[in-house]
Every structure is written in C-alpha cells, then in structure tokens.
Amino acid sequence: MKQDESSITSLISAFGRAYHSQFDTPKIFNDFIAKDLISEEEFNDVKENMVGGIQFFNKDIAEKFKGNKEEILKWITQVQLSPTPLARAAYCEQVLRNEVRLGLKQYVILGAGLDTFAFRHPELEKVLEIFEIDYPATQEFKQKRLDEANFKIPNNLHFVSMDFTELFSYKNLLDEGFANKKTFFSLLGVSYYLTKEDLSGLIDHLISNVPTGSSIVFDYADEQLFEEKGLSNRVENMVKMAAAGGEPMKACYSYSEVEKLLEKSGLLIYEHLSPADINKRYFSDRNDYLSAFETIHYIHAVKK
C-alpha cells in the first residue's frame, strides 16, 4: 500500500462493512459504526465507481441488471468486495473475545485502517489495551473522521504510526504503553502482499517479544491463488486489481508451508479454517450472493 493511497483503501474497506451492516441480512459481522466514518459523498462516490466497473467484473450481470444500480452494487459488494473482510473480521473478533475471557490484556491491530473495535466494545475500556498500527496518513485520516463524527477516543485506544511491512519497531508500541504481557495480534489482508521471507520475518519479530500464550490471527491465500478463477472470476479479478493498483500479490502457501513458517517463530496452529470451513461457519443458509472466497484461509496460532 502506498502512503497516499492508504486512506482510500481503508475507506473502501469501511464501505463494505457499512453496506453489510445497513443492507444485508443475516449479519456476518455487524460493524454498525463504519457508516459514521464515511461521508455521504464518499459513500456515493464508492458506489458509483463500483457500479461503473460492472463490465469488468461480469458482463452478463451488467446486462441482466442494466439500469438497476442498487442490484449491481449489491452483486459487486457481496460477490467481490465483502466476503473476505467480513468473515475474517468476524473470526478474528470471535477469537479475541475468547482470549479476553481467558485474561488477555493487549490487542495489536496491524493495518488497522478504520477499525472500530474499541468503539463497539466500550465495556472493555478498563480491561483491554488496544494498539492500532498503520501509516501516519491513515492514522490522521481516521482521527479526523472520529472527530467529525463526535467520537471520543477511549483511554485504552492507542494509535501507533508505522509502516510495519518495511520495518516493525517495538519502540513505537512501548512509547504508547505496550507492556510485556500476553498479547493478541491481528494481521488481516496483509500476507498476500508480502514475500514469504518478509511475512516470516514480520511474524518472527512480533512473536519473539511477547510471552508464551500470546497469539495471532491472519489470513492467507493457498497455492491455487494464481490458477483459481473463482465464482464469476472473482479470485482472478482480485489478483488483477491488486496488480493494476501497484500492489501485486506476491505469495501463496500450502498448509505445510504455513505450518513450518509458524513453527520457526515458535507458534503452533490452534485452528485453521479452509474456504469450505469458512463457508459453512459464516455463509450457510443465505439467500443472497455472499459466499466464502475461494483460496483464502484463516489461521489462529499460539506461542508455545
């Protein structure tokens, strides 16, 4: 992600969560605050850009729903944009809530964007310290939006400016009050854009400085990433869009590769969800277009 584009990326992600919260039933992940961080003009701009791109995504759908912007938007959002961000957030926060019940004190969100966890869970203000890591431009953008929406930043929320994909530094975290306590990391939507060596180095650095029992949730693409087309070519479209945006996807993994990578950092896989597992857990019995994205897996790994 380029620094000057970071707020745009976080805005589109928030758009997907806001759309789902307002228009989809049942809810996979209800981010009811996301809409407050997007202006009406921005929401409409993203909507128009999505609808305007329907020919790229699916010419048959473009013809079938010609002139019906709302149905086109629903199709693009539910098929291409939302499935992975919604389900991985639901999974990550499910694991996190369980960790809190087990005494977790620190949560680090890498690539936080317009994350709203701290605002959706005010009951955790005296229980859990939350550290959001992202580019300075994204942090400024978010704080401006929170101010405009009259949100008071809770005492347990700490903004840490850093390009962690280039150089992760614990000093920035320590300066914000990070301590040597059991910690939970979320690393969502990042692994695809790093080389295998860079991902291994990042996880190794993260885990080496926290106690036993600390853990991480992240998503990764399996070895079919560059061959699988997916429903309505959505996997192929995702890869093409990433490359066109200047941030090509660099890595995909077999399960054994992920296992070895984590073992090197002293982590054991506690839970692994395949696309079929994700579909069964989060997308079953739906009557819309939402379904689990092909090739994408979720991992919860714990430090030995």
Cross-strand bridge partners of residue 220: 297
> Helix, strand or coil for residue 234?
helix
Instruction: Render pLDDT for 148-158 as a digit per residue (tens, 0 to 9).
Output: 999 999 999 99
- What is this structure's pTM? 0.96
Across the beta sheet with 183-187, the strand order is 157-161, 129-134, 106-110, 183-187, 215-221, 296-303, 267-273
Report yes or no: 112 and 141 within 8 Å, Cβ to Cβ. Answer: no
Residue % of the chain over a pLDDT of 90: 93
User: pLDDT tier at 167 (50, 70, 90 boundaries)?
Assistant: confident
| Residue 131, amino acid | F
Rounded to whole angstroms, the Cα distance separating 106 from 124 reads 11
Cβ atoms within 10 A of the Cβ of 7, count? 21
Report yes or no: 229 and 235 within 8 Å, Cβ to Cβ. Answer: yes
Report angle CA 15, 162, 126 to the nearest 5 degrees: 75
Structural domains present in the chain: 3-81 (no CATH), 84-303 (3.40.50.150)
**pLDDT the model gives residue 6:** 58
Average pLDDT over residues 251-269: 98
Average pLDDT over residues 8-32: 94
Higher pLDDT, 166 or 217: 217
Instruction: Render pLDDT for 94-130 as a digit per residue (tens, 0 to 9).
Output: 999 999 999 999 999 999 999 999 999 999 999 999 9
Residue % of the chain over a pLDDT of 70: 98
